[in-house]
A and B are shown apart, each in its own frame.
Chain A
Amino acid sequence: MKRLLGTNIDIRPGESRVTALMALYHFLLLVALYLLKPARDSLFLTELGADQLPFVFILIALVGLPVTAMYSGAGRRFDLKRLVRIATLCVVASFVLLRWLLSMQAPWVFYVFYVGVSIFGILSVSQFWLLANAVFDASQAKRLFVVLGLGGIAGAIAGGGITSLLVRTVGISTRDLILVSVALLLATIPLVDAIWRRRPPGLGEQARTETEGESGKRPLADVIRTVMRSRYQLLIVGIIAATTLCSTIVDFQFKTISAEAFTDENQLTTFLGAFYGGVSVLSVIFQLLVTYRLLRWVGVGGIIFLLPVMLLGGSVWFLAVPGLAAATCVRGMEGSLSYSTDKTGRELLYLPVPLAVKKRTKVFIDLFVDRTVQGIAGLLLLLFTMVLGLSPRHISLIVMIVAGLWLVLALATRRGYIDAFRAALARREIHAADLTGGITDPSVVRALTVSLRSPNAREVTYALDMLKTVHSPEIESSVVALLDHRDPGVRTGALQTIFGFAGRAHLPDVTRVLADDDLIVRREAIHLAAWHDAEGRLPTLERFLREDDQRLVLATIDCIAEYGGRKEHALLEEHADAIFAMPSSDFDVEMDRAVARIIGKLKRPEYYRFLEQLIDHEHPAVVIEAIRAMGEACDSRHVSILLGLLSDTRYRAAASTALTRYGPEILETLRDTMTDPAVHLKVRAAVARIISRMPHQESVDILIELLGSIDSRLRFQVIRALNRLRSGFAHLRFNRAGVTAAWVEESRRCYAVLQALQVNDGAIDDDACRLLQRALVERKYETLERMFRLLGLRYPAADIYNAYLALLDGNRAVRASAVELLDNTLSAQEKRYLFPIIEAQPGAFPVDGNDGSVETSRPDRSAALARLLEGDDLWLKACAVYCVPSENDRVLWGLVQRTAADPDPTVSETCRLVLDRRKATGNV
């Protein structure tokens, strides 16, 4: 089965439940869709007739794109769980309403229903995969998406079968299939909730921002330009256009003939249900039995000829013997191939397209081209049937012409594919992760085999990575020879590739690598040896664990940590005492790292004491591994240990990552740490960064709350954390009142700084005065930056940032544009505060903004210094203290006396210095 699917199904401990739920969700969605599709076709054909189909094809093209764009926009605004729930409830409400409207027998309702089901078909599938990408990370996706796909295939088959069963046997009317479908959709809501609860913390939001990033925001003209510049991509567009054109025309022919053959609504529904179910079964058969073999035999360049040749032949048959049998066969062949073998071929055509280009253009090609051509197909069908009066039989000639053109395009694409692939390999632009379908194209495999003999280790590793999905006996000997390669990365890659060969035959070759100097190579060798040993994986692993050679034991532990499941972990637990009590050796560091790693994987609290010991290890590599393990285990007892490690620059990054993995459960603790004056500032700054990596509403609320109470030296870090959340996660809401209050506070600080600047400027030309002046200028810009960062939480961040940069620019015209933008963006209150600052009119600063009063009087220098001495800005306070002798004001000296007891060492030291000097000069 694994070989048939061309991949490794590998469900690891902790993944089975969420994988099963996701597969069930896909199953239910597809059952619902395949209940609706026969109902849609049957109702439309019996009520309105097949001649109306071209209109509805055009309608779908017109409605499909804006709806997809709207959905994508909603995807950026709402969090994914909310989006899925809202979308499902909207679909349910729409179908219930449509069921009621259908009883009115108004013709427009049948159009709306047809279009609605088609749009639901597009959105439900994309919504499912969006959720799947949010729930699983990239490595899980590679292993588990096959299972999810199987759930969908089973749903499509079952949906078709259930339709026939319900209508023919149970006696449910076609229209009531809608309600059955609605019930199934409602059942998916708690299912999605359960899936969401089981996803890894933080993963959902991350996946969402990543997926929307590249393609969603690009201007269409830019994408079209990129496609137009590439001949190869234009050929792909041509093939997709030909596929959609033929598919739409053949669908029209099939539905017209079916409507003529079955005049009864329920009979037609039964037939269509069985047809769709049958097409799904055929798709699976093609995918499992034909695609892989055909790919190996003729490659991608050959597989893309299959569907046009079939359509050409089928259309000749239909032209010769027009009837239900021929129409069903042609449409069935088209339906099953275009979702299996041909689709695989089309997807693989993108392989040599650089990833960055593919991200920009694939969505456009797949959606825009497909919908547009479907609309064009509708217009052509109108021309052929209504204007030229062609029958479905004669329309086959059009299919034959398009299929002929398609073959010409396929020929050109085949040449382009090989050339593009060679070029992409040379530039290493193909990623192994894209090869989920496997590369079996003989010419591509040949090119990769040549790369295996390259003197460049990176090129060999790259080729091995590509070849992991290829099951070709021809390359086995070349890969086995690489076990003696000088580069450990190549040896590791070779072992991983041999693993994919199901390489029991190569076990003797692998055995000698067990003594390799490199830990990772030994680990991979054990993985291969144990997983393919006839004796069985567990006995082999146990044998390795009992070895006297500590290097083997270590590699075995590492192997279990990397690849082990529940049973392997249990085996390790049996040997835990022996492993943890191992005598000291030259491999202490590696062993301790492996032990830390496995404890993180096992997540057994009884072993956490070892982690707590390892965290004090003298070797930083071990401590980092122990920190990572704590991040894996997410045990509440370790939070304080990890927070403590934030003060050590060697471990700060690892401890931050580990704490981030805990997710929102520790937000309260993080808030308490932020407000604890006993905790060092650098630790608190790191905590602000950790909160910014937890994209939850609570994180935003806590940070906004902190703005009002946090130490002034941490305000920048807190605001920056909010900016990060705002720019990465559009669904988060920022409390307007809290942000405004913080902004007003910042503007007050800015006014105080500007007033001090104004009265200090050029007052006395000495070092002390110049230092204070420079410190005040620096503060002005820092405060201004915080003010604009806060504005970025309320208004489009990019606009505000550009305005900020423009204001710092010396060019008057640029500054004027920024002022104009702010004038049209900000509220009256914000403008009243900000404009005096940016227009440099410091005489009219509204110092007290709460009651709207404006303080226009300018304080004298002594008053300004006194304000700084009494303020909470420690650095300005120290600078102001240093300036006091130049002013020689009795009140100021009194303040200096009081400030000498300040807990800040720089402030108290400066006070002592000026007071000592005063005493020394006898000027007391």
Chain B
Amino acid sequence: MLTVIERVILLQNVDVFEQVSTEQLAYLAAIAREVEFLEGDTIYRENERAVAMYLVLEGSVRLHQNNLDITIARARDAFGTWSLFDDRPTVVTATALEHTRLLRVDREDFIDLLADHVQIAQGVLKKMAGRLRGLASRIGSEPSGGRTGR
């Protein structure tokens, strides 16, 4: 089983946690748990209610819609990140391609953690705001809606 510090090393590379400090990630690491799947096991199905985010520790996971492959998640890759923030059904099915070990963060635990560690929420929001800003500048408008292109 990984220690907190080893989990932090993995979690710091997850895109959405980029702006969260490593010390705060240690709290996140403490609520994460390791889960194992055998080859062919379904981790979650398309249109199911998403409840957790996963990070691949060992093995690989196929993310697909029916028979259409979307991507393959390998060691250190994260998937299902958005399920931490909204409870809409997942758009893909996740299937273990081999014996796979994952780090799982449940949404309920994550929300409880945010209540006590506002800095984590701050870091996530900072990242989201950066993304929105990037998107807005790509389409030539600010998030407030005012056109800047003309």
Residues of A within 8 A of B (CB): 649, 682, 767-768, 771, 774-775, 778, 782, 875, 878-879, 882, 905-906, 909-910, 913
List 11 additional contacts besides A649-B112, A910-B3; criterion CB under 8 Å.
A682-B116, A768-B9, A771-B8, A771-B22, A774-B22, A778-B22, A778-B23, A878-B4, A879-B22, A906-B5, A906-B30
Task: Compute the total of residue contacts between A and B using a CB distance below 8 Å.
Answer: 44
Q: Given the known inter-chain contacts A906-B4, A909-B3, please indicate yes or no for A775 contacting B9, CB distance below 8 A.
A: no
Whether A913 contacts B23 by the Cβ 8 Å rule is: no
Whether A767 contacts B9 by the Cβ 8 Å rule is: yes
Size of B's binding interface in residues, CB under 8 A: 15
Whether B22 contacts A775 by the Cβ 8 Å rule is: yes
CA distance A352 to B74 in the complex (A): 64
Whether, in the assembled complex, B97 has its beta carbon less than 8 Å from a beta carbon of chain A, the answer is no
Whether B12 contacts A878 by the Cβ 8 Å rule is: no
Within 8 Å CB of A649, what residues of B?
Answer: 112, 115-116
Within 8 Å CB of A778, what residues of B?
Answer: 21-23
Whether B112 contacts A771 by the Cβ 8 Å rule is: no
Say which residue of B9, B30, B116 sits within 8 Å of A771 (CB atoms): B9
Residues of B within 8 A of A (CB): 3-6, 8-9, 12, 21-23, 26, 30, 112, 115-116
Within 8 Å CB of A910, what residues of B?
Answer: 3-5
Say which residue of B9, B21, B26, B116 sits within 8 Å of A906 (CB atoms): B26
CA distance A886 to B76 in the complex (A): 22
Q: Given the known inter-chain contacts A771-B12, A774-B12, please indicate yes or no for A875 contacting B115, CB distance below 8 A.
A: no
CA distance A561 to B51 in the complex (A): 43
CA distance A767 to B12 in the complex (A): 11
CA distance A767 to B10 in the complex (A): 9
Whether A909 contacts B4 by the Cβ 8 Å rule is: yes
CA distance A882 to B7 in the complex (A): 13
Of chain A, the residue at the smallest CB distance from B27 is: A906
CA distance A782 to B24 in the complex (A): 13
Within 8 Å CB of B5, what residues of A?
Answer: 771, 878-879, 882, 906, 909-910, 913
Within 8 Å CB of A882, what residues of B?
Answer: 5
Within 8 Å CB of B30, what residues of A?
Answer: 906
CA distance A756 to B99 in the complex (A): 41
Whether A875 contacts B23 by the Cβ 8 Å rule is: yes
CA distance A436 to B111 in the complex (A): 45
**A136 CB, nearest partner CB in chain B, Å:** 34
A and B contact pairs by CB, cutoff 8 A, 17 listed: A649-B115, A649-B116, A768-B9, A771-B8, A771-B9, A771-B22, A774-B12, A775-B21, A778-B21, A778-B22, A875-B22, A906-B5, A909-B3, A909-B5, A910-B3, A910-B5, A913-B5
CA distance A55 to B6 in the complex (A): 83
Of chain B, the residue at the smallest CB distance from A716 is: B119
Within 8 Å CB of A875, what residues of B?
Answer: 22-23, 26
CA distance A822 to B113 in the complex (A): 39
CA distance A682 to B30 in the complex (A): 16
CA distance A778 to B3 in the complex (A): 21
Within 8 Å CB of B8, what residues of A?
Answer: 771
A-B pairs, 10 with minimum CB distance:
A649-B115, A875-B23, A778-B21, A775-B22, A906-B4, A767-B9, A913-B3, A910-B5, A909-B3, A682-B116
Within 8 Å CB of B6, what residues of A?
Answer: 913
**B32 CB, nearest partner CB in chain A, Å:** 14
**B69 CB, nearest partner CB in chain A, Å:** 30
CA distance A878 to B5 in the complex (A): 8
Within 8 Å CB of A771, what residues of B?
Answer: 5, 8-9, 12, 22
